[in-house]
């Protein structure tokens, strides 16, 4: 059945047909746009007609009639109406605009890996290319080097490139939809299997930390040091802001919006972590005169949050392979189980793990903060045992929790 103005306003995500090849495309973000699909010279062509917020249903139907009349008369609407811009924006420009348009519909207002994945793997190859020259072959060249080495990331990048090209089509930068369905046919089959993130045996962490703290001062080195000392996820470090830290109370309060389980998490800062944060604070104040609570603790290029690659670079600089940043959480877990008397639930709380049993979760209301502070002090003492004593900030005795 043909669309109505009411249906246009309330249509759910998907493609909704009207008449004569006119479609309303509703995306998950809520954006709505018009597309004309028609056979032209033996092949299917899609024409973007603009946003439904700017072009009414009646106006879209009038445009469809004009386009179809041109095609019947042997004319090309693209050339006649100048839909293809003489100087199309670059892929990177459109990708950043696409991200800004979509992020408003995300719970956290951003997706932590969306832009870094493009910055690391896509922009160096095709970022400067005009958006209307990016085709399946160009995307294939981007994915080939990473398709088997980082398969999950590669699949997400393919999806994000497709989203960017769809956005470009809706905005009129690309006159026809670019289908990427054939890209995977030119790539080897990925073996779908569950793999554990490589972790360093806990016994080797002190020597690792000695090498790490001996590196030249850098954002990556400092971010990785804090991540290991606090056993947090890398995203929680990458997006940390100064307002989350109370250095007098030696705590780091991470809001629920930034936590995987969407629950706020207070991290007790051990003496070495506190020494690190105070040094970073003093360096920032010396550089900026004042400290803004909204500032990122570990800013990257253009003031954006650093990526996981930044911390991994510190590991590569030490000529160490076969481990991941996330793997240090496993090192912490194994060390706690084998070298301390702290109960498992204290370690789980330190890692901000969700309690799988709903009944148990309902009754266990404590966050074991005091025990976690003792645990994190002991972990810091262990991992910094081979490092310069000045990095420890204070002599820390060995603590064990009861029961």
In a domain, 237, yes or no: yes
- Distance between CA atoms of residues 229 and 231, nearest Å: 6
Q: Is residue 207 domain-shared with residue 269, that is, in the same domain?
A: yes
Question: Would 400 be classed as within a structural domain?
Answer: no
Tokens 């028609």, residue?
A: 38
Residue 197 confidence (pLDDT) above 80: no
Per-residue pLDDT band at 220 (split at 50, 70, 90): very high
Residue 100 resides in a domain: yes
* Res. 77 pLDDT band, cuts 50 70 90: low
Q: What is the pLDDT of residues 317-330, one digit of tens each?
A: 898 888 888 889 99
Residue 335 pLDDT > 60: yes
How is residue 153 written in tokens?
């990331």
Of the CA atoms within 13 Å of residue 72, those in its CB half-sphere come to 6
336 vs 331: CA distance, rounded Å: 9
Q: Which domain holds residue 377?
A: 202-391
What's the CA gap between 343 and 336, in Å, rounded?
9
Question: Do 58 and 147 fall within a single domain?
Answer: no
pLDDT of residue 389: 47
Through-space distance between the first and last CA atoms of the chain, rounded to whole angstroms: 68
401 pLDDT exceeds 50?
no
pLDDT at 400 over 80: no
pLDDT surpasses 60 at 81: no
What integer pLDDT is reported at residue 152 of this predicted model? Answer: 84
Could you tell me the pTM of the whole model? 0.52
CA distance 5 to 52: 10
Residues 157 and 244 both lie in one domain? no
Residue ending a domain, among 33, 62, 81, is 81
- How far apart, in whole angstroms, are the C-alpha atoms of residue 274 and residue 251? 9
Confidence bin at 92 (pLDDT 50/70/90)? very high
How many Å apart are CA 171 and CA 164, to the nearest integer? 11
Same domain? 261 vs 342: yes
The sheet with strand 14-17 has its strands ordered as 14-17, 22-26, 32-40, 43-51
- Classify residue 378: in a domain, yes or no: yes
CA–CA gap between residue 10 and residue 397 (Å, rounded):
64
- The whole-number pLDDT of residue 269 equals 96
Asked if 297 and 166 sit in the same domain, the reply is no
338 and 268 assigned to the same domain: yes
Kindly report which listed range (7-11, 289-293, 352-356) carries the lowest average pLDDT score. Answer: 352-356
Beta bridge partners of residue 40, listed in sequence order = 43
- What is the SS3 string spanning the chain? CCCCHHHHHHCCCEEEECCCCEEEEECCCCCEEEEEEEEECCEEEEEEEEECCCCCHHHHHHHHHHHHHHHHCCCCHHHHHCCCCCCCCEHHHHHHHHHHHHHCCCCCCCCCCHHHHHHHHCHHHHCCCEHHHCCHHHHHHHHCCCCCCCHHHHHHHHHHHHHHHHHHHHCCCCCCCCCCCCHHHHCCCCCCCCCCCCCCCHHHHHHHHHHHHCCCCCHHHHHHHHHHHHCCCHHHHHCCEHHHEECCCCEEEECHHHCCCCCCEEEECCHHHHHHHHHHHHHHHHHHCCCCCCCECCECHHHCECCHHHHHHHHHHCCCCCCCCCHHHHHHHHHHHHHCCCCHHHHHHHCCCCCCCHHHHHHCCCCCHHHHHHHHHHHHHHHCCCCCHHHCCCCCCCCCCCC
- Tell me what pLDDT residue 181 has: 78
- The answer on 349 and 230 residing in a single domain is yes
Is residue 194 situated within a structural domain? Answer: no
Instruction: Determine the average pLDDT of the residues in 29-47.
Output: 75
Residue 105 resides in a domain: yes
The total domain count for the chain is 3
Higher pLDDT, 274 or 13: 274
* Contact of 392 with 380, CB cutoff 8 Å: yes
Comparing 77-91, 93-107, 186-200, 363-377, the range with the smallest average pLDDT is 77-91
Same domain, 239 and 367: yes
Q: Are residues 140 and 43 in the same domain?
A: no
Select the more confidently predicted residue: 369 or 357.
Answer: 369
Average pLDDT of 302-327?
87
Mean pLDDT of 271-278: 96
CATH at residue 368:
1.10.443.10
Give the domain CATH number at 76: 3.30.160.390
Average pLDDT in the chain: 82
Short-list 296, 268, 301, CA closest to 280: 296
Q: What is the mean pLDDT of residues 292-310?
A: 86
Task: Return the axis-axis angle of helices 219-230 and 271-288, rounded to nearest 10°.
Answer: 150
Q: Is residue 362 over pLDDT 90?
A: no
pLDDT above 60 (res 41): yes
Same domain, 301 and 373: yes
Q: What is the mean pLDDT of residues 170-180?
A: 77
Domain membership of residue 373 (yes or no) is yes
Residue 225 has pLDDT above 90, yes or no: yes
Residues 350 and 308 in one domain: yes
In angstroms, what CA-CA distances link 236 with 24, 71, 233?
A: 39, 55, 5
226 and 359, same domain (yes or no)? yes
On the question of pLDDT at 190 being above 90, the answer is no
* Residue 373 scores a pLDDT above 70: yes
Question: Would residue 396 count as lying in a domain?
Answer: no
Q: 6-15, 65-74, 166-175 — which one is most confidently predicted on average?
A: 6-15
């Amino acid at each position: 059945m043909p669309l109505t103005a009411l249906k246009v306003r309330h249509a759910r995500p998907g493609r909704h047909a009207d008449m004569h090849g006119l479609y309303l495309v509703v995306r998950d973000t809520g954006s709505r746009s018009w597309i004309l699909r028609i056979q032209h010279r033996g092949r299917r062509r899609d024409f973007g007609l603009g946003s439904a917020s700017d072009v009414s249903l009646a106006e879209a139907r009038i445009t469809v009639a004009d386009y179809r009349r041109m095609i019947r008369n042997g004319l090309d609407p693209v050339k006649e109406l100048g839909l293809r811009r003489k100087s199309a924006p670059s892929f990177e420009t459109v990708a950043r605009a696409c991200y800004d348009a979509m992020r408003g519909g995300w719970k956290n207002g951003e997706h932590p890996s969306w832009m870094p994945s493009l910055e690391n793997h896509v922009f160096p190859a095709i970022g400067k290319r005009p958006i209307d020259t990016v085709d399946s072959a160009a995307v294939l060249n981007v994915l080939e080097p990473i398709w088997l080495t980082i398969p999950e990331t590669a699949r997400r990048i393919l999806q994000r490139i497709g989203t960017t090209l769809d956005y470009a089509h809706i905005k009129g930068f690309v006159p026809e939809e670019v289908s990427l369905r054939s890209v995977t046919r030119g790539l080897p089959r990925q073996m779908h299997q569950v793999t554990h993130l490589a972790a360093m045996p806990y016994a080797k962490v002190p020597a690792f930390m000695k090498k790490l703290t001996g590196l030249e001062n850098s954002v990556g080195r400092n971010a990785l040091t804090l991540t290991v000392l606090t056993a947090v996820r890398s995203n929680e470090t990458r997006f940390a802001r100064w307002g989350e830290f109370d250095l007098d109370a030696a705590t780091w309060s991470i809001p629920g919006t930034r936590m995987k389980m969407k629950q706020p998490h207070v991290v007790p800062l051990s003496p070495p972590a506190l020494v690190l944060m105070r040094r970073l604070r003093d360096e920032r104040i010396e550089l900026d005169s004042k400290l803004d609570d909204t500032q990122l603790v570990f800013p990257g290029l253009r003031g954006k949050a650093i990526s996981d690659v930044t911390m991994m670079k510190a590991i590569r600089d030490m000529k160490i392979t076969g481990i991941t940043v996330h793997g240090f959480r496993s090192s912490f877990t194994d060390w706690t189980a084998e070298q301390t008397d702290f109960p498992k639930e204290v370690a789980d709380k330190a890692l901000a793990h969700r309690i799988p049993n709903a009944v148990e979760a309902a009754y266990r209301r404590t966050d074991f903060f005091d025990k976690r502070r003792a645990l994190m002090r002991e972990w810091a003492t262990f991992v910094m045992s081979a490092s310069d004593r000045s990095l420890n900030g204070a002599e820390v005795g060995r603590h064990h929790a009861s029961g």
